[in-house]
Chains A and B, each alone.
Chain A
């Protein structure tokens, strides 16, 4: 009898805390989810709150987003962890690498949110992610010489991605391509006073110039004080086929010529490349990209966890099995695919399950990383619950229903844990 009393005393504090703070509230929340928004219980509404879960657009967005989280994060975290664990096995300084990747685990999801918000600034001159994007984009397709230029007269129109003079040209003709809206710092280096070209028989000549001088000037006329635009690509298109037949580059005074043009009707214009806009940066924190942005930051946090757990699993693996496979002539890839991964399967599943639970409960990072304007686009179940119950709406009925829904989602994992324990005993 005394034995039971002793056991009871040892268990008492824990039982008290668990009953008052976990079990009673959980039961209350389940009951509460069938009642209206306010009051200790409010009025009975049946399953109305659960219907609201799947009909209110903010809540369905949260469920959809959480589905994306579950589909993407656990798989990526496990794969990256496995990759890192395998790679670090081959270097001497694996401890240093593991420490670096593991670091974010100690940081709060909240501080991570702040950290990544700095990374995700849209302006490539401020946000590191977009700065990297700009380096890549500029290498692939460099920005044009005149990204903001516009035609100065109505007979020059936007076409083929560039600008085209609508006046038809024949050999011996002259093309005047006036452009405006060019800020002084975008005027090409070495630009000289623009010159009216002299017509030549058999050729089509022209000038491309900044049709603007301090005070304005007359549109469509080359005047003193107006500069040529050297380096601009000009194209000559056949009017009938629309194809580029010749292209040329403007001189310092803006003049250019297409030589030995066969008989026919042509159009002259400035190539699309000239007007290519510089990379403005992706709106990572905007409504469309906010969820991917969150996923990246979250994977950054948890990759270290997965790596450490998988590396521990690999350390416990029987080395002779791997060695035997190698002696039998298996390639490194075959060893990995046919021996390492199957042996690691239990560890991988633990990582996957842990990540599924984590992702279902994700909350802090969304609140920290998503600006208020996009929080409803980035919404997830746990955040929706909090916002519904405490974030101004104060609807305790629907809030309870969301909590119960979240609980239902993790119950399969609960069952799995209990089964694993029963097998152990």
Chain B
């Protein structure tokens, strides 16, 4: 990516070959530093991947990087075993239910509230929004103990629904904040003309706001999905038999070295899905990050 400064200094598509080589050489130190840093950043994840592909008899004796001299020791055995591991498969399914359920619910509830705070006129609107901003930073630890009791009373303890609702509540301030700030940028004329045409607010919301707000909704969806997919503390507190993948792996950690052949592939699968989502929707991810980095 050429910066504006360079385009000014070198206005030459006809640049000489020698000049181009010299310029590339001048940048060589930066390139090398970045290559080294990039590799350094990849090593831990790569190490997990390789470990997950090695039999336990090897990982307890030598480092995963020795695989470069014995590539034949790589095996799918751990993954095969994993797909026959009933507990782990159930945990993956539970994780998916929680992540998808939370994401859908928070989009609906969040978008409705965000629309009201952006475009409906009523007294105290800004105060409510300030309240939402205030709730952004409330640590979820503030709710663990009381909700633990309430869930016990209302039968929500150890249920997927209970875990989802807790996530929705603590993701909601961010959702409303993100969507409201996006919705408010939608041109007023569009809404006004729809209102003059006699459309009611629900129609406007469904036909105009949702389609126009799709980029922000996509960012929100990715964030919520990743947060809940990656959550440990909520599921650990409100679940016992209902275990998402993080809690399931956590249960294995006691015997880290001796069950590394189970932990490593499970951990890799648990991060492969967020990674796939991240690569598929990278743009929305970054957008959401920039919009919400105040959280």
Contacts and interface: CB of A to CB of B under 8 A. Distances in A.
A87 B30 contact: yes
B81 interface: no
Nearest to B39: A100
A21 B63 contact: no
Which of B37, B132, B146 neighbours the largest number of chain A CB atoms within 10 Å of its CB? B146
Contacts of A29: 142-143, 145-146
Nearest to B166: A21
Given A10-B201, A118-B47, A312-B290, A89 B3 contact: yes
Interface stretch (A157-165, A236-244, A405-413): A405-413
Given A26-B143, A40-B149, A319-B5, A108 B229 contact: yes
Interface residues of B, number: 103
A105 B230 CA distance: 11
A266 interface: no
A403 B267 contact: no
Contacts of A107: 45, 230, 271, 274-275
Interface string A93-117: 0111101110111111111101111
B41 A3 contact: no
A264 interface: no
Given A21-B147, A117-B256, A125-B62, A4 B142 contact: no
Contact of A110 (B48, B129, B232): B232
Nearest to A313: B290
B115 A10 contact: yes
A28 interface: yes
User: Would you list the 8 A-B pairs with minimal beta carbon distance, nearest first?
Assistant: A108-B230, A21-B169, A14-B113, A25-B143, A10-B116, A106-B278, A25-B146, A403-B141
B133 to A, nearest CB: 5
B201 A6 contact: yes
Interface of B: 1, 3-5, 8, 27, 30-31, 33-34, 37-38, 41-45, 47-48, 51, 59-65, 108-110, 112-113, 115-117, 120-122, 125-126, 128-130, 132-139, 141-150, 165-166, 168-170, 172-173, 176, 201, 205, 226, 229-233, 236-237, 246, 249-250, 253-254, 256, 260, 263-264, 267, 270-271, 274-275, 277-278, 282, 285-286, 289-290, 293-295
B115 A18 contact: no
Nearest to B31: A91
A69 B254 CA distance: 25
A423 interface: no
Interface residues of A, number: 105
Contacts of B150: 25
Given A14-B109, A108-B246, A390-B237, A103 B278 contact: yes
B172 A17 contact: yes
A103 B45 contact: yes
Interface string A125-144: 11110010000000000000
Contacts of A110: 230, 232, 246, 249-250, 270
Nearest to B123: A4
B141 A385 contact: yes
A111 B116 contact: no
A95 B111 CA distance: 32
Given A26-B142, A106-B277, 16 more contacts: A3-B121, A11-B113, A13-B112, A17-B168, A26-B138, A28-B146, A90-B30, A112-B44, A115-B267, A119-B47, A350-B294, A361-B139, A368-B250, A385-B144, A396-B145, A421-B129
